[in-house]
Amino acid sequence: MFPTGGPGPTKQNMNYTVVINMCVWGGSLLYYFVDARKWFKGPKITLNLGELTEAQTEALREEGLEIEGLESDGDGVGGEVPEKGEKMV
């Protein structure tokens, strides 16, 4: 992203990647703060609960994630894994 001609680049040997990159980032941030923050909730996670290992299930419990299909063990966080092959969206 930096010019190859050393200090003091001219218009002819300037690498404009940094300018274009900042325009993309600036436009994305502007779009997010003007509109997308009102409706964007983040990526959706799809898990095949039957294929989770015990360590993965425990990690989900420790993170405190509420996941449909994992039964609660009383603390509001998932517990047992449902039938093998059952999918959660």
Query: Rounded to two decimals, what is the model's pTM?
Result: 0.43
| Other CB atoms within 10 A of residue 49 CB | 22
Do 82 and 69 form a contact (C-beta atoms < 8 A)? yes
- The DSSP 8-state label assigned to residue 37 in this structure reads G
Dump pLDDT digits (tens) for 37-46. Answer: 889 887 776 7
Confidence label for 13 from pLDDT (cuts 50, 70 and 90) = confident
pLDDT in tens, 14-73: 888 888 999 999 999 999 999 998 898 877 767 777 788 888 888 887 887 766 665 545
In this model, does residue 79 exceed pLDDT 60? Answer: no
Q: Which two tokens stand for residue 37?
A: 């923050």
